[in-house]
């Protein structure tokens, strides 16, 4: 964000505690000190209002980054995201663009209970007019955020609180000021030949961990990091499935109408269907509001053992 | 001798409107202790701060009666909440409590004052700083702490956590800022609809006070004359943002516009009680909603993840603690009017300490909820249904 703020003076950040508090999760640390009140704005706790304000500013030529302290609070403002931001370019037949980024942590955390743990990938991924990205690695976060800020369209940028503290190795190229990752393109994080695992955000880590365990048993998983929810990179997934003949999707969100459900439908509509040796299976969060107690919470989200179990069932081993 | 001292100290109270008497009563008077309760002043009158009024001709009384019994009860309740919150702080630092934990210490007079003025059949709803209200509404310390530690003996069986505790006629414990206010207006609508003469106290903070849905609630409550007491607990900071930085008008008691309002000293349990009585009478008389702003303070940061010193000075916190602590204020008033002995308060403190320790022991030894319970309580009054687990072969059961 610092680099993009420096590069383009139309870019500014607004949200709760982003300025003087340095960010609720310290993501915007140092920015207010460097850029001041006009470009880093602390808002009152009024999501519907400040999201509308952000969208309006985008319509009038600025490039706002609108932070939700968590995406759970974006529900208060979802009308502005969908009806005011997503649909406007279409409704105006291209006359009015909305170059805005909505970002913040998405999905479950640790012990924050039902109202603070929902994954919104499926909800936002459902709507035309939005681009929706869900980074996993530090490289993803950096490249996709820069791409999102430079994009002339509304982008929903789904971060993950538990991933904020996870360190990653980064190439020199990925540390350059102009490093961007194209929105709508997935990345194969691990090559494999027996089964394709597709995930986004934190669950890419789970898939890689499961793949390491399965490798010892002679099962080689190909792990696809979606990076983008909308557009979905079906070409990448299909190419992988045509190689491995098996597909397991993994997500933290609820199963019904989820990211995995969409992938299943599209696989059936495309060329990869005929290469499947078994039905596609989905690993997802349990279909309940998130409980608080640790033992219940741990069993409400996909664990590595669930992925391993599902792979073996899919491969019939 | 005691009667003379009592009269002098009452006179001081009348003149200054504070418990200044406690500073001028000599040490010798305090040493005179009688074990018989009949030696204590059974009832005294105190001055409370005048409430600022909005669209009201007159406000609650400024001279307030307190009986010895009431005083000891308020002391016990507030001190229990205080100690319970401090125990929660300790357990959180030991990582036995996880996730969000928003503590109420400093604000006890609000919860106690409100509860003292309403009936158990009235209704209360608040946001996430809810442990105090869960207690005043009837939840036990044991069940509250066990909920924080995520055990099956918790008030929500471990499924809700800090922000989602419920009790009879207490609707939580709500995590989304501001959302509880329309809910409160709705509860008030149900009261009016059922003609039961009950009122709903709908609480929110200074941070939430700017939420649009609160103004929507004011409008409908006024239009339909709902028996709703809107209460803004103004503790001066919405997380890290001071009221001056979040609100174009910090006169929260006036923000209801057409809804009459009062600004109340939220550190004085008697002031809160009288104001709430006044507000409840207003609602029960069918006059529609009313708004109370309680000026209060939280000693802890916003939550256990917030050190609470980035946006305010340690001196400020210390000053409030030493000059305006609600529990100290009540105790000093009672002592300077010989309504109780120092030893009695000490004894109450000891009893509370024991209660908290026992509750904490339960909260740390009670087992976690059973995995069988994972999917229960999705619906109410439903036949058992099958719930998808993390994969298609995982079929779980949900019981109502």
Tens digits of residue pLDDT in A86-138: 999 999 999 999 999 999 999 999 999 999 999 999 999 999 999 999 999 99
**A116 has catalytic annotation:** yes
DSSP B372: G
Q: Tell me what the mean pLDDT of segment A147-171 comes to.
A: 97
- CB contact under 8 Å between B389 and A24, yes or no, is no
Q: Output the pLDDT for position B39.
A: 82
With beta carbons under 8 A apart, name residues in chain B contacting A295: 150, 368-369, 371
Scanning every residue of chain A, which has its alpha carbon at the shortest distance from the alpha carbon of B386? A287
Phi then psi for A250, rounded to 5 degrees?
Answer: -130, 130
- CB contact under 8 Å between A296 and B156, yes or no, is no
Q: Output the pLDDT for position B16.
A: 39
Give per-residue pLDDT as tens, B118-155.
Answer: 999 999 999 999 999 999 999 999 999 999 999 999 99
Phi then psi for B218, rounded to 5 degrees?
Answer: -55, -45
Q: How far apart are CA B342 and CA B337, in angstroms?
A: 12
With beta carbons under 8 A apart, name residues in chain B contacting A44: 207, 210, 238, 241, 246-247
Which of A16, A112, A306 lies at the smallest CB-CB distance from B391?
A306
Q: How far apart are CA B226 and CA B182, in angstroms?
A: 12
Give per-residue pLDDT as tens, A55-74.
Answer: 999 999 999 999 999 999 99
Q: Output the pLDDT for position B165.
A: 97
Give per-residue pLDDT as tens, B10-61.
Answer: 444 443 344 444 444 444 444 444 556 668 999 999 999 999 999 999 999 9
Q: Output the pLDDT for position B8.
A: 46
Neighbours of B9 (CB within 10 A): 24
Mean pLDDT for chain A overall: 98
Contact A280, A263 (CB under 8 A): yes
- CB contact under 8 Å between B373 and A285, yes or no, is no
Q: Tell me what the mean pLDDT of segment A41-45 comes to.
A: 97
Q: How far apart are CA B113 and CA B196, in angstroms?
A: 23
Q: Output the pLDDT for position B31.
A: 46
Distance from the A312 Cα atom to the nearest Cα atom in chain B, whole angstroms: 12
Distance from the A89 Cα atom to the nearest Cα atom in chain B, whole angstroms: 27
Which listed residue (A3, A116, A126, A220) is catalytic?
A116
User: Residue B279: is its pLDDT beyond 90?
Assistant: yes
- CB contact under 8 Å between B241 and A44, yes or no, is yes
**A47 has catalytic annotation:** yes
- CB contact under 8 Å between A289 and B378, yes or no, is yes
ipTM confidence:
0.93
Give the confidence band of B400 by pLDDT, cuts at 50, 70, 90.
confident
Q: Output the pLDDT for position B37.
A: 60
Domains of chain B: 45-369 (3.40.50.970), 371-400 (no CATH)
Give per-residue pLDDT as tens, A247-306.
Answer: 999 999 999 999 999 999 999 999 999 999 999 999 999 999 999 999 999 999 999 999
Q: How far apart are CA B345 and CA B33, in angstroms?
A: 13
Q: Output the pLDDT for position B14.
A: 44
Q: Tell me what the mean pLDDT of segment A181-202 comes to.
A: 98
Q: Output the pLDDT for position B36.
A: 60
**Which distant-in-sequence residues (6+ apart) come within 8 Å of B227 by Cβ?**
B188, B191, B192, B198, B199, B200, B283, B284, B286, B288, B289
Q: Output the pLDDT for position B35.
A: 55
**Which distant-in-sequence residues (6+ apart) come within 8 Å of A89 by Cβ?**
A96, A97, A98, A129, A153
User: Residue B7: is its pLDDT beyond 70?
Assistant: no
- CB contact under 8 Å between A20 and B396, yes or no, is no
Share of chain A above pLDDT 90, in %: 100
With beta carbons under 8 A apart, name residues in chain B contacting A293: 150-152, 154, 158-159, 161, 368-369
Share of chain A above pLDDT 70, in %: 100
Which of A45, A287, A291 lies at the smallest CB-CB distance from B159?
A291
């Amino acid at each position: 964000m610092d680099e993009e703020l420096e590069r383009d003076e139309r870019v500014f950040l607004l949200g709760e505690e982003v300025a003087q508090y340095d960010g609720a999760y310290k993501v915007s640390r140092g920015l207010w000190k460097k850029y001041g009140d006009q470009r880093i704005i602390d808002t009152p706790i009024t999501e519907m209002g400040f999201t509308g304000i952000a969208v309006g500013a985008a319509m009038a030529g600025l490039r706002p980054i609108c932070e939700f302290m968590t995406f759970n609070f974006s529900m208060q403002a979802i009308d502005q995201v969908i009806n005011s931001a997503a649909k406007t370019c279409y409704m105006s037949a291209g006359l009015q663009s909305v170059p805005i980024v909505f970002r913040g942590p998405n999905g479950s955390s640790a012990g924050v209970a039902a109202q603070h743990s929902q994954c919104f990938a499926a909800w936002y991924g459902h709507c035309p007019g939005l681009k929706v990205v869900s980074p996993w690695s530090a490289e993803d976060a950096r490249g996709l955020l820069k791409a999102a800020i430079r994009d002339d369209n509304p982008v929903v940028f789904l971060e993950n609180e538990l991933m904020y503290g996870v360190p990653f190795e980064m190439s020199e190229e990925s540390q350059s000021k102009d490093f961007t990752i194209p929105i709508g393109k997935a990345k194969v994080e691990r090559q494999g030949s027996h089964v394709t695992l597709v995930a986004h955000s934190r669950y890419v880590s789970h898939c890689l961990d499961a793949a390491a365990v399965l490798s010892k048993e002679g099962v080689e998983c190909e792990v696809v990091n979606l990076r983008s929810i909308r557009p979905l990179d079906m070409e990448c997934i299909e190419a992988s499935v045509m190689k491995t003949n098996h597909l397991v999707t993994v997500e933290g969100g609820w199963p019904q109408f989820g990211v995995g459900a969409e992938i299943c439908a599209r696989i059936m509509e495309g060329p990869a269907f005929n290469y499947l040796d078994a039905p596609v299976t989905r690993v997802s969060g349990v279909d309940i509001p998130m409980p608080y107690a640790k033992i219940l919470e741990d069993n409400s989200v996909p664990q590595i053992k669930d992925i391993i179990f599902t792979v073996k069932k899919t491969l019939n081993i | 001798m005691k009667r003379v001292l009592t009269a002098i100290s009452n006179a001081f109270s009348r003149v200054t409107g504070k418990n200044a008497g406690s500073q001028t009563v000599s040490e010798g008077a305090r040493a005179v202790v009688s074990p018989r309760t009949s030696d204590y002043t059974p009832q005294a009158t105190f001055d409370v701060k005048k409430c600022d009024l909005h669209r009201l001709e007159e406000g609650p009384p400024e001279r307030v009666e307190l009986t010895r019994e009431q005083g000891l009860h308020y002391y016990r309740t507030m001190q229990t909440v205080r100690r319970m919150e401090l125990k929660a702080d300790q357990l959180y630092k030991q990582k036995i409590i996880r996730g969000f934990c928003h503590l109420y210490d400093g604000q006890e007079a609000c919860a106690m004052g409100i509860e003292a003025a309403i009936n158990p059949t009235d209704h209360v709803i608040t946001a996430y700083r809810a442990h105090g209200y869960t207690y005043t509404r009837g939840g036990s310390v044991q069940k509250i702490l066990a909920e924080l530690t995520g055990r099956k003996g918790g008030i929500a069986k471990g499924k809700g956590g800090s922000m989602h505790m419920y009790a009879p006629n207490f609707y939580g414990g709500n995590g989304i800022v501001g959302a509880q206010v329309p809910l409160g207006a709705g509860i008030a609508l149900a009261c009016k609809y059922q003609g039961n003469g009950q009122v709903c106290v709908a609480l929110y903070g200074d941070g939430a006070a700017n939420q649009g849905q609160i103004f929507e609630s004011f409008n409908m409550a006024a239009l339909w004359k709902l028996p709703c007491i809107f209460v803004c607990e103004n503790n001066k900071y919405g997380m890290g943002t001071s009221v001056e930085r979040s609100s174009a008008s910090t006169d929260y008691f006036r923000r209801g516009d057409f809804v009459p309002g009062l600004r109340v000293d939220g550190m004085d349990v008697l002031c809160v009680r009288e104001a709430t009585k006044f507000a409840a009478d207003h609602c029960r008389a069918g006059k529609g909603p009313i708004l109370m702003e309680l000026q209060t303070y939280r000693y802890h940061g916003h939550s256990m993840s917030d050190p609470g010193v980035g946006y305010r000075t340690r001196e400020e916190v210390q000053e409030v603690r030493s000059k305006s602590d609600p529990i100290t204020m009540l105790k000093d008033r009672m002592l300077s009017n010989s309504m109780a002995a120092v030893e009695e308060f000490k004894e109450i403190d000891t009893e509370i300490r024991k209660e908290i320790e026992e509750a904490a022991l339960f909260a740390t030894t009670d087992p976690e909820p059973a995995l069988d319970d994972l999917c229960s309580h999705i619906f109410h009054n439903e036949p058992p249904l099958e719930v998808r687990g993390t994969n298609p072969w995982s079929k779980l059961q949900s019981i109502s």
